[in-house]
Structures are given as C-alpha cells and as structure tokens.
Amino acid sequence: MKESIKKKLKLKVSAISSGTVIDHIPSKNLFKVISILELDKTDNMITFGANLDSGKLGSKAIIKVSNQFFEDDDINRIALIAPHAKLNIIRDYEVVEKKVVEVPDAVVGIVKCFNPKCITNNERITTSFDVISKEPLDLKCKYCEKITHEDQMVIK
C-alpha cells in the first residue's frame, strides 16, 4: 500500500489543534463518559470514535474535545467506567501533557447501591458513596451504609 494512504488510514479521528484527547475508553462506556463529562451540553467541537482496534482493551473509544481542558476532579469521575483512560492535553497540535484517571474518595451518581431496600433504589434520589477501598473497589452508601463491592457494581 502507498505510504500516503497508510498515513491517512492511521488516524481514525483527526488530530486537533488545541484541547483534550481522552483515549482508551472502553467502547461500551463511550456515551456514559460523554454524559458524565457533560459533553452533550458543550458548544466546543467534539469528535469521537468507538470500536477502534486496541491491543490492551480489544476495542476502545476515543473522544477529542477542542478548546476544553478539564479539572482533575471532573476527570476522575470517569475512573469507575474508564479506569484505563489516558488524557492528552493538546496545545498547538502537540501533546504537552498526559494524565491518567484516579479513583476519587467519593462517588456521586454513576453507580447503583447494591442494597435493594436502599432509599436510592426506591425513590428518585441520586446515589452517594464514600470510597473505602480503591483496589478492589468498595463503596459505602451514605444513605444505607451498606457496602457495594466491585464485583457487584452496576452502573446506572
């Protein structure tokens, strides 16, 4: 194959001049990441790809948000659904910084409480947990105090 064609094929989603590239998102959680980061409400240009080949994950998704830079607290909200996500900060077309996500000390929304009797499963109340262990994950519900373990975790 011609070199010029190989180059065109390599980048599945165009490079951006300035902004944030969120790479290595599990494809099945792409739209959850978009919603958690409120990218469905931004006016900035967004491009994304899903079901892209990736050695580690099998299939990954990538989101590129132009002219937007996230606070660490906001980025860490995707840790439960995209634990291996890598952020690339782009300025003048260059990657100037790389960041990984970290599990935060508290989780609001995103996850369901494991306890079927919990008020959050019976009324329209946003879940809220303290993270009492990060590896493996253990979340303590602020309402019923029951613990949701990693293997029982259901994303809302």
- State which of residues 20, 21, 111, 141 lies at the interface with ligand CTP (CB under 6 A): 21
Q: Which of 155, 9, 18 has the alpha carbon at shortest distance from 90?
A: 18
The yes or no reply on residue 15 touching ligand CTP (CB under 6 A) is yes
CA–CA separation, 57 and 144 (whole Å): 35
Task: Return the one option of ligand CTP, Zn ion, none that residue 117 interacts with (CB less than 5 to 8 A, by type).
Answer: none
Figure out which of the listed residues 103, 144, 147, 153 binds Zn ion, where binding follows CB under 5 A. Answer: 144
What is the x/- site pattern for Zn ion, positions 55-94, by CB under 5 A?
A: ----------------------------------------
Q: Which residues contact 108 (CB under 8 A, 6 or more apart)?
A: 126, 127, 128, 129
Check if the beta carbon of residue 23 is closer than 8 Å to that of residue 100.
no
Surface-to-core class of residue 66, CB atoms within 10 Å of its CB (0-12 exposed, 13-18 middle, 19+ buried): middle
Q: Which of 118, 129, 137, 139 binds Zn ion (CB under 5 A)?
A: 118
Task: Report the residue count for the chain.
Answer: 156
Binders of ligand CTP among 23-42, rule CB under 6 A?
23
Q: Which residues bind ligand CTP (CB under 6 A)?
A: 11, 15-16, 21, 23, 62, 64, 86, 88, 90, 93, 95
